[in-house]
Amino acid sequence: MRLLKSPTLTAKFLSYHFGGWLLFSLINALSLGLLTQDHFDKITIHIATVAFTVGLSTLGIREIIWRLNLFDKNWQKQWIYFIATSTILGFICACISVSFIYVYYNLVGHTVPSSFWGGVLDNWLFLIILMITWTLVYFTIVNQDRLHKAKEDATQLKLQLNEVKMSALMGQLNPHFLFNGLNNIRALILEDKQKSRAMLTNLSDLLRYTLMAHKQNAVSLRDELEIVCQYIELLKIQYEDRLIFRLDIDQNLMAEKIPPLLIQLLAENAVRHGIEKTKKGGVLTLKASKDNNHMHITVTNPGNLKKSTQKISTDRVKPVKKDENSNTGLGLINIKNRLAIQYGEQSNFKIEQQGLNVVAQCQIPISIKQEVV
């Protein structure tokens, strides 16, 4: 059996410990009628003896609890140790207390109340019950502290894991977005140098934003819309009249915080899986409105959803794994995972077919401190 080291005894703990036993001894003396006696020294000896001997005995029990790591034992073993230590230490404590009182009474000439062993037996059972009670109280308090600390450690670990997850997800966004932008430039660079130059400028601004967004948990809706408009302008050079972009934004929401690149990913998904695959293109509509304490972001585009996409996207927001056979792609999976990490059950995300259009809807809390949960 590996013996563990007990926590260091602090002055605060010792003062509370012996102060508590001193108070108990005083109450015990009152209940026994000792305070009505004429000899003040008898009262002092009884109080001091009980407080000192019981205080030291319970410190011994504390040491045994930690040394044998009784916190991790099953309840049967715990009770065996509790009863055994309380019985042994209670007997020793009774012998020491009675011996000290008898010696003092004989020295000063007081009448000894009973025989030595009679006094020991009279106090033994009482001390056993007293020590078991103290042990249970101490055991409960320490267990509560350990549980509280475990919860704090688990919360801290969860925060660290969430930060790692968020960094990993954001790390996936940058190369994904860069790949699409470079492909657009490659397609036009030989056809129109002026347009290609404009695309490079826009792409540079967009990449700067994504690099900065990687370091933040939230950005203002205004900043996100600005970068989305740049992104759409870049795409419109490629899609021309096939892409029509419309905004319907509640101006009171412009300063509210949202996860960085959230709307950009929704717009990118709408173009890749909607506008691009529709022969005549269509209208991409972005709407942001407020309902109670939530912001509703809706992106509408022409297109059709596959069954696998509908199944995944209508689930309650929670982390999901990438399905290689799904039509959602990395973008939508990242959106769901980021919302689950950052807002938990306070957010909601779904994408569904409405007539000839695909509608992606995102709901997040507003007017609260933005932090990783």
Report the relative pairing of strands 348-354 and 357-365 from DSSP bridges.
Answer: antiparallel
- Digit-coded pLDDT (tens) for 41-60: 667 777 788 788 888 888 88
Q: Is the model's pTM score more than 0.95?
A: no
Taking the C-alpha atoms of residue 255 and residue 367, their distance in angstroms, rounded to an integer, is 10
Bigger pLDDT: 65 vs 114: 65
**CB contact at 8 A, 123 and 97:** yes
Taking the C-alpha atoms of residue 141 and residue 331, their distance in angstroms, rounded to an integer, is 49
Bigger pLDDT: 5 vs 77: 77
Question: What is the predicted pLDDT for the residue at 157?
Answer: 63
Amino acid at the residue 158? K
Looking at the DSSP bridge assignments, the partners of residue 218 are: none
Q: How far is CA 53 from CA 30, 93, 100, 102, 203, in A?
A: 19, 6, 10, 15, 79
**CB contact at 8 A, 119 and 98:** yes
Taking the C-alpha atoms of residue 166 and residue 210, their distance in angstroms, rounded to an integer, is 14
* Confidence check: pLDDT of 195 > 50: yes
Question: What is the predicted pLDDT for the residue at 300?
Answer: 95
Question: What is the predicted pLDDT for the residue at 313?
Answer: 47
- Digit-coded pLDDT (tens) for 232-273: 887 787 788 899 999 999 999 999 999 888 898 899 889 888
* Confidence check: pLDDT of 97 > 60: yes
- Mean pLDDT over the full length of the chain: 78
CA atoms within 13 A on the CB side of 129: 5
Phi first, then psi: what are they for 298, rounded to 5°? -125, 130
Bigger pLDDT: 160 vs 124: 124
Question: What is the predicted pLDDT for the residue at 170?
Answer: 53
Question: What is the predicted pLDDT for the residue at 130?
Answer: 85
H runs (alpha helix) in the chain: 11-31, 40-67, 75-108, 116-188, 193-213, 221-239, 262-270, 307-313, 329-343
* Confidence check: pLDDT of 35 > 70: no
Share of the chain above pLDDT 70, in %: 77
Range scoring the smallest mean pLDDT among 40-44, 271-275, 279-283, 342-346: 40-44
Question: Which of 312, 307, 295, 219 lies closest to 260 in space, CA to CA?
Answer: 219
Question: What is the predicted pLDDT for the residue at 329?
Answer: 53
Ordered by start, the domain boundaries in the chain are 11-152, 189-365
* Confidence check: pLDDT of 171 > 70: no
SS3 285: strand
Taking the C-alpha atoms of residue 126 and residue 108, their distance in angstroms, rounded to an integer, is 27
Bigger pLDDT: 329 vs 263: 263
**CB contact at 8 A, 70 and 77:** yes
Bigger pLDDT: 259 vs 110: 259
Share of the chain above pLDDT 90, in %: 13
Question: Which of 58, 57, 72, 81 lies closest to 137 in space, CA to CA?
Answer: 58
Max mean pLDDT among 159-163, 251-255, 267-271, 278-282 falls in: 251-255
Q: Which CATH superfamily is domain 189-365 in?
A: Histidine kinase-like ATPase, C-terminal domain (3.30.565.10)
Bigger pLDDT: 357 vs 72: 357
Report the relative pairing of strands 282-291 and 294-302 from DSSP bridges.
Answer: antiparallel
Bigger pLDDT: 46 vs 64: 64
**CB contact at 8 A, 359 and 300:** yes
For residue 57, give both structure tokens: 């005995």
Bigger pLDDT: 102 vs 114: 102
